[in-house]
Amino acid sequence: MSDRKEFRDLATPEAAREAIGSLDLSPEPETVPLREARGRVLAERIDAAIDVPGFDRASMDGYAVRARDTFGADEAEPAELDLVGAVHAGAAPDVTVEPGTCAEISTGAVMPDGADAVVMVERTDELDAAGGDPDVERDEPDRIAVRTAVAPGDHVMSAGADIAAGARALGPGTRLTPREIGLLSALGVDEVPVEGKPRVGIVSTGDELVRPGEDLDPSRGEIYDVNSTTIAAGVEEAGGEPVLYPHAGDDYDEMERLLRRAADECDLALSSGSTSASAVDVIYRVIEERGELLLHGVAVKPGKPMLIGRLDRRAKEGTSESPGESAYVGLPGYPVSALTIFRTFVAPAIREAAGRPEPATATVEGRMAVGERYGEGRMRLMPVGLLDLNDGDLPLVYPVDKGSGATTSLVEADGVVAVDPDTEYLDRGERVSVQLFSPDVRPPTLLGVGEDDPALNRLLDRLESPRYLPVGSREGLRRLRDGVPDAAVVAGPGDREVDAVDLGGWRREWGLVVPEGNPDGVTGLADLVDGDLRFVNRSTDSGLRRSLDDALDGLAADRDASRRNLTDRIDGYGLTVRAFESPVRKVIAGDADAGLGLRETAERLGCGFVSLGEQPVSVRAAPDRVERDAVAELAGALEDLVDTADDDLLDDLAGYSRNSRNDP
């Protein structure tokens, strides 16, 4: 009698998925050069180490001016300014713009000292000592007539406006496409930590198989080996590294040798063929004798004969390490069955081990989350993000557009909506077609907006595929009120009238960042008002700015003055930067004597700190989103911060403290 393996009780597809899910296919993370990182998946968060751009730069050709010199200028009465020189892209400015002067400047050039705005060349006229007489020959103009008024910051991209030092650039689990690699290049990153590629050994069995390129004898029933190359391509597409082994035939000893070799060298050993119950199909015996057989046979068509198990590894010579084991999956021999089983059961496991997302279609239909006005008469390729609420309706589509010079627009967007030149307005709720940047793009599970914060960066690392837009507390609340994000992060005494559910948060110490040793002896806000100190502020959307202005209101009340009286005396009060590290960087560079910031950032970067108090940081969710899984996950992480004494979210963050149950 032949020793034949019978398929008596076929496993369900769910059981097969559970069996494969119990296998460990995950390789160790590795570091690769940026030039080799396309398609890889980040193993950890990358924060910006520098401001991008690293300097205040002109965003168009024109003249660098002091904005106050143009106030009141118009076509009838232009402001006339002395031309003191020119600044070109890629060169350090060698001129200073004093009151009543200007400097010619090209797009991308460094703003010269003294200038705080750019007037576009189209709104100017050249003059000379002859008063602009067109009959008088001249080589270079002496004076420039400015026919419009500009405000500080007009046509200037400030340092860090694209992405600021300390900001969360990319999170763990991000797949690196040309968009992300462009951002990392802009940050000067030359190598990145990525998830390792699972090595998948592929062994084809069956005496009838012949490798492509070799001679085929159909009279002996020989066929070309389709599975090895097909499955290898599938492994690579799923994010793994395929390793092809020699053809095994149906020889038991050769099968065992190749499978053991694949197990020793790879995270997953895959075989195709020799999995059915015929007398010559012996591969399942190899698994039973050399490892553990978890499953044989699945109730699917095609693909019933399937093996799942583990193979013991041999210890490396000269080491005492535990050899461990390799995962094993046996695929059916028929190519259609093998590929079907691979794509249904094995490819998802490889993708998960490699950190790859499930594939998505290249075009999706969505609905506008907000109204968007456009009327320039040109086709617009509008970068947009997607948020699928899983409410049975189309995904939300929201514009993500910081301008053509901002690389982060690419990372924060999932695709583009082509807006017809004749379309002047897209209504909220209007159906649109989104062309994804890649078929692999998937919308984030959670969309958050608001304040930037070191603890928040850590919190986001705990969530599955979040997207966070650091737009500031005030803008975050506005967007939450408009119904776009799932949650907004608000620092300081933000507007509590917005209809939202408070999920929790923490507290952080804020104040004035000063050089190490506090050489100017700064003790508080009064020194900014009364002393000769250069100050760098945060933008008005920032929660830190709101706390500062409230504190200045208190000081003004003590002095029976207005806040404006005080801020006019603070040198640099109107000089604002985007992110929590930016003021510290300005102080370190010697560009300011004090900056608005956090104790955590000051201590981490080696600066002094003058405390002005604590401020709450709260995470608020849209009331109609609190039941979403992603929002529930966020709420759970915040709950752990209060309830779990050993939660490490705030560890090593100077000046941070937990909320208690009694905190508002």
| Residue after which a domain boundary falls, among 157, 184, 216 | 157
533 pLDDT band, cuts 50/70/90, is: very high
Per-residue pLDDT averaged across 440-464, rounded?
92
The sign of the dihedral angle between the CA atoms of 494, 496, 498, 499 is positive
Task: Flag the least confident range among 317-321, 334-338, 375-379, 616-620.
Answer: 317-321
Do 182 and 206 fall within a single domain? no
Q: What is the pLDDT of residues 404-428, one digit of tens each?
A: 445 666 678 888 888 887 888 999 9
Do 634 and 500 fall within a single domain? yes
pLDDT value for 312: 86
Is residue 236's pLDDT more than 60? yes
| Residue after which a domain boundary falls, among 334, 354, 374 | 354
2 pLDDT band, cuts 50/70/90, is: very low
β-sheet bridge partners, residue 116: none
257 pLDDT band, cuts 50/70/90, is: confident
Separation CA 601–CA 511 (nearest Å): 11
Q: What is the pLDDT of residues 499-509, one digit of tens each?
A: 899 999 999 99
* Consecutive H or E run containing 397: strand 396-399
Per-residue pLDDT averaged across 389-394, rounded?
88
Q: Is residue 373 part of a domain?
A: yes
CA angle 259, 263, 269 (to 5 degrees): 70
Do 481 and 580 fall within a single domain? yes
Do 563 and 510 fall within a single domain? yes
Is residue 625's pLDDT more than 70? yes
Do 587 and 651 fall within a single domain? yes
CATH number (domain holding residue 373): 2.40.340.10
CATH number (domain holding residue 214): 3.40.980.10
Per-residue pLDDT averaged across 642-657, rounded?
86
Q: What is the pLDDT of residues 334-377, one digit of tens each?
A: 777 777 788 888 999 999 898 887 776 678 999 999 999 877 66
- Could you tell me the two tokens for 258? 């190749």
| Residue after which a domain boundary falls, among 302, 333, 354 | 354
Do 472 and 572 fall within a single domain? yes
CATH number (domain holding residue 79): 2.170.190.11
pLDDT value for 45: 95
- Contact of 134 with 79, CB cutoff 8 Å: no
Do 479 and 429 fall within a single domain? no
* Consecutive H or E run containing 488: strand 487-491
- 588-608 burial, b if ≥16 CB within 10 A, otherwise e? beeebbbbbbbbbbbbbbebb
Is residue 612's pLDDT more than 80? yes
175 pLDDT band, cuts 50/70/90, is: confident
Is residue 488's pLDDT more than 60? yes
Q: What is the pLDDT of residues 284-307, one digit of tens each?
A: 777 777 888 888 888 777 667 788
Is residue 485's pLDDT more than 80? yes
Separation CA 5–CA 371 (nearest Å): 65
Contacts of 219 (CB under 8 A, 6+ apart): none
Half-sphere exposure of 189 (CA within 13 A, CB side): 27
CATH number (domain holding residue 583): 3.40.190.10
Separation CA 110–CA 86 (nearest Å): 11
Do 214 and 261 fall within a single domain? yes
Q: Is residue 475 part of a domain?
A: yes
Separation CA 370–CA 484 (nearest Å): 7
Phi and psi of 561, rounded to 5°?
-135, 175
Separation CA 398–CA 391 (nearest Å): 17
Do 608 and 634 fall within a single domain? yes
Per-residue pLDDT averaged across 493-522, rounded?
90
Q: Is residue 359 part of a domain?
A: no
Is residue 239's pLDDT more than 70? yes
Do 107 and 138 fall within a single domain? yes
Quote the percentage of the chain above a pLDDT of 90.
Answer: 57
pLDDT value for 253: 79
Residue 45: which of 167, 210, 220, 217 has the closest Cα?
167
Q: Is residue 452 part of a domain?
A: no
Q: Is residue 435 part of a domain?
A: yes
Q: Is residue 140 part of a domain?
A: yes
DSSP assignment of 325-359: EEEEEEEPSSHHHHHHHIIIIIHHHHHHHHTPPPP
* Consecutive H or E run containing 87: strand 79-87
Contacts of 404 (CB under 8 A, 6+ apart): none
Residue 308: which of 298, 297, 295, 299 has the closest Cα?
295
Do 411 and 496 fall within a single domain? no
47 pLDDT band, cuts 50/70/90, is: very high
pLDDT value for 1: 35
Question: What total number of domains does the chain contain?
Answer: 5
pLDDT value for 4: 43
CATH number (domain holding residue 40): 3.90.105.10
Do 334 and 415 fall within a single domain? no
Per-residue pLDDT averaged across 563-586, rounded?
91
Q: Is residue 1 part of a domain?
A: no
Higher pLDDT, 200 or 663: 200
How many residues appear in the chain? 664
Distance (Å) of CA 413 to CA 172, 366, 381, 443, 517: 17, 14, 12, 9, 43
| Amino acid identity, position 94 | D
Q: What is the pLDDT of residues 33-46, one digit of tens each?
A: 999 999 888 999 99
278 pLDDT band, cuts 50/70/90, is: very low
28: phi > 0 → left, psi -120 to 50 → alpha, else beta; which? beta
Q: Is residue 109 part of a domain?
A: yes
- Contact of 626 with 574, CB cutoff 8 Å: no
Residue 26: which of 352, 434, 285, 367 has the closest Cα?
352
Domain with 144, as residue range(s), is 57-157
Helices (H), 52-199: 178-186
